Amino acid sequence: MKWQKTKKAIGNIGSTLSLIVLAVILFNVVTSKMSGENPSIFGYQMKAVLSGSMEPDIKTGSIVFIKVASDGDQFEKGDVITFITEENILVTHRIAKVKDGGSHFITKGDHNNGPDLEPVHIKNIVGRYTGITIPYVGYAFKITESRLGAALLLFLPGILLIGHGLITLWRTMRISENYRDSEAQTPNE
């Protein structure tokens, strides 16, 4: 019997911690969207990876955490960086070669056959991958960039909370009615 209670307590704690982490991420994304900034947690930005170029280390649809690049940062061969291409596309690839004394880099996706066509200038580097990845959340993260996705992100949690409150109220009323019915059927002594 004690094991059942312990198991239930561990499950409740795990669920609560998961909800807290999800709420912090959700709050962070909403506030950053409202302010027009990129979402970040404790100085680390979250970026969605929607291609398989870095598999198997970074799965398609993952969110990666990057440490934002600052002036004076040095990058070397083997670092995984997130950068902006000339087409204004965000890419996360590994540095394959350092050129021009560290001002340009040849990058390559781990799963790609060859290096990227254009060198990356140090000013286009957004940040360095920290090794922290959350699989599959990137798909939902990317949806929030659209107007409809942002609206859903703002209103869906409220609707879910109202629905949960109504279900809880309905269950409570049923329990109360069942209790009254059982009291009415019990003969008085």
3-state secondary structure 120-134: EEHHHEEEEEEEEEE
The verdict on 32 and 116 lying in the same domain is: no
For 11-65, the pLDDT digits (tens) are 778 778 777 776 776 676 666 666 666 666 677 888 888 888 998 888 998 889 8
Same domain assignment for residues 54 and 94: yes
Is residue 179 very low, low, confident or very high in pLDDT (cuts 50, 70, 90)?
low
Q: Give the pLDDT band (50/70/90) at residue 3.
A: confident
Residues 60 and 50 sit within 8 Å (Cβ to Cβ): yes
Q: Which residue, 145, 162, 179, sits at the end of a domain?
A: 145
Q: Which two tokens stand for residue 174?
A: 């049923």
Q: Are residues 109 and 167 in the same domain?
A: no
Same domain membership, residue 7 and residue 62: no
- CA-based nearest residue to 24, from 36, 41, 12, 11: 41
42 and 32 in a single domain? The answer is no
Say how many Å lie between the first and final Cα of the chain, rounded.
36
If asked whether residues 113 and 23 sit together in one domain, one would say no
3-state secondary structure of 17: helix
Residues 30 and 43 in one domain: no
What is residue 72's predicted lDDT score, i.e. its pLDDT? 78
Residues 47 and 133 in one domain: yes
Q: What is the CATH number of the domain that holds 74?
A: 2.10.109.10
Whether 1 shows a pLDDT value over 70: the answer reads no
Question: Does 91 or 19 have the greater pLDDT score?
Answer: 91
104-145 tens-digit pLDDT: 999 999 999 999 999 999 999 999 999 888 888 777 777 766
Q: Based on the domain organization, do 79 and 116 belong to the same domain?
A: yes
- The set of residues, in sequence order, having a beta carbon less than 8 Å from that of 175 and lying 6+ positions away, is none
Please state the separation of Cα 107 from the chain's center in Å. 25
**Residue 29: predicted pLDDT:** 67
The torsion defined by the Cα of 52, 144, 23 and 133, in degrees rounded to 10, comes to 10
Domain identity same for 123 and 84: yes
Domain hosting residue 5, numbered range: 1-37
Q: How much is the pTM? A: 0.62
| 3-class SS of residue 112 | coil
Contact yes or no for 62/51 (Cβ under 8 A): no
Write down the pLDDT at residue 129: 94
H/E segment holding residue 15: helix 2-35
Please check the confidence at residue 96 and state whether its pLDDT lies above 60.
yes
Q: Tell me the mean pLDDT in the region 155-174.
A: 81
Considering the domain architecture, whether residues 51 and 140 belong to the same structural domain is answered as: yes
The residues annotated as belonging to the active site are 51
**Number of structural domains found in the chain:** 3
Contact 93, 81 (CB under 8 A): yes
Q: Are residues 81 and 92 in the same domain?
A: yes
